Structure formats: structure tokens, C-alpha cells
Amino acid sequence: MLRISKLTDYATLLLTHMARAPQQVYSARGLAEQAALPLPVAAKLLKLLAREGLLVSQRGAAGGYVLARAPQRISMAQILAAVEGPLAVTECALGRGVCEMEKGCATRPHWQLIGHALQVALEAVSLADMVAPKAAPVRLQRLER
């Protein structure tokens, strides 16, 4: 569990295809074919990614989508945030007052810590890393007290 949504997975797929030749303009139709996704799904995602600033869109004939930045500067954290909204492992991580047990809850700061570790892990992996043949160099370390 702790699974990302399928849509996020698809979005990553689309973006990695584009990352192989950045600056090129891709149509929704073409990308859907390459990624083997239904056109409506790909189109919906591309629109979303454009709205969220990860892609730049060009309307009209011969239009399409281009990566808004170099693949190195697009992190998995950004992709996930674009598709699924802000990262929040627990409800209380979203803000005050969401959870009614807030006052007596000693576990909250620790959840936040786990959430933070996850955030860092996601930020450390870029789109460029995702197309690289070798695994991205991220490692977790446990500090002794």
C-alpha cells in the first residue's frame, strides 16, 4: 500500500517519453500512442500537467505540449503534487483543525517526520533520473542518537 494513483503513474510515463527529446513538441494523440494509453486519459493528464506548470501548451493546428523545464529540474515530488495534490501522509499533515484529536495526539510530529522523509526522497529523484539507465542515487540514513 501507500500506492500512488494510476494517473500519477501514467503522467510519469508521458513525461519520461517527452524527456527523451525535450524541446520537441508532442501532440496528445502521438503521446497516447507511444505510451499505449487511451487518448482521453492522456489528453486529460496533459491538460492537467500544463495547468500545473510542468508543461507548456500550444493550441491550434501543429500545437502540442513541451516540457516547461529541463528534465533535471522536474522532480517526482512535483509530478505527484501536480496530479494528486499536496503530499500528506496523514490528514493532520494538511493543516490545523482537520483532525479533531489534534490536541492530545502525540504521534503527529512523528508522522510529519515520516512525511518529510518521503518528500525528500521524491524531490531527490528527477525526471532525468527516471530515464537514466542507472538507478538514481538516493539513500536514507539513520542517525545514531
Partner DNA sequence: GTTAAATAGGACTGTACAGGTTCTATATAG
Partner DNA sequence: CTATATAGAACCTGTACAGTCCTATTTAAC
Interface segment toward its own copies; rule CB under 8 A; list 11-19, 25-33, 41-49, 60-68: 11-19
Rounded Cα gap, residues 109 and 127, in angstroms: 30
Asked if 95 touches DNA (CB under 7 A), the answer is no
Rounded Cα gap, residues 145 and 135, in angstroms: 30
Asked if 101 touches DNA (CB under 7 A), the answer is no
Task: Name the grid cell of 89.
Answer: 501522509
Binding mask 46-85 for its own copies (x = CB under 8 A): ------------------------------x---x---xx
CA 12, distance to chain mean position in Å, is 7
Asked if 89 touches its own copies (CB under 8 A), the answer is yes
Identity of the residue, 27 or 115, whose beta carbon is nearer to its own copies in the bound complex: 115
Q: Which does 96 bind (CB under 5 to 8 A by kind): DNA, its own copies, none?
A: none
Q: Which does 61 bind (CB under 5 to 8 A by kind): DNA, its own copies, none?
A: DNA
Q: Which does 36 bind (CB under 5 to 8 A by kind): its own copies, DNA, none?
A: its own copies
Q: Which does 21 bind (CB under 5 to 8 A by kind): DNA, its own copies, none?
A: none
Q: Which does 137 bind (CB under 5 to 8 A by kind): DNA, its own copies, none?
A: its own copies
Torsion sign over Cα 49, 54, 60, 63: negative
Length of the chain: 145
Residue partners of 75: CB distance under 8 A and separation at least 6? 122, 123, 124, 125, 126, 127
Identity of the residue, 9 or 58, whose beta carbon is nearer to its own copies in the bound complex: 9
**DSSP tag of 5:** P
SS3 48: helix
